[in-house]
Amino acid sequence: DAQFTMGQTSNFAVAFWYPMDGKPWSGSQHYSANCNWMPLDIAQPSTSSATRLSSGHSNSEDAVNIFAILLSVAAFCISVFMAYWIKRSKAVPFTPIDHL
């Protein structure tokens, strides 16, 4: 567990584990980027971006969000209609693969 402070440098270490021959992880089987602590700088946001984030979205972002929601609803409605149409239509009989 670690806590980072905006605008200050914190220390962290990176390691990853690559399993070999299906063996569970052990402390000696990991690869480390560095055995020492590495500095991590978390930049503090500029005042213009912080003000923009607190003031809300722009009109273009709202338009994109509305378009994405409408596109999602349309895709859902089309998939429901296609499922109904396929279930209702018996023109294409089901052929099991076992008989081919």
* pLDDT at position 34: 58
40 part of a folded domain: yes
Contact 3, 29 (CB under 8 A): no
Mean pLDDT of the chain: 74
Domain count, the chain: 2
27 part of a folded domain: yes
Write the pLDDT tens digit of every residue in 10-43: 777 776 666 677 777 666 666 666 566 777 777 7
Overall pTM > 0.75: no
Residues 25, 61, single domain; the answer is no
Name the residue range of residue 66's domain. Answer: 57-91
51 part of a folded domain: no
100 part of a folded domain: no
Helix ranges, the chain (H): 47-55, 59-88
What burial letters (b/e) apply to 36-50, b meaning 16+ CB within 10 Å?
Answer: eeeeeeeeeeeeeee
* CA of residue 43 relative to chain centroid, distance: 23
33 part of a folded domain: yes
SS3 75: helix
* CA of residue 62 relative to chain centroid, distance: 21
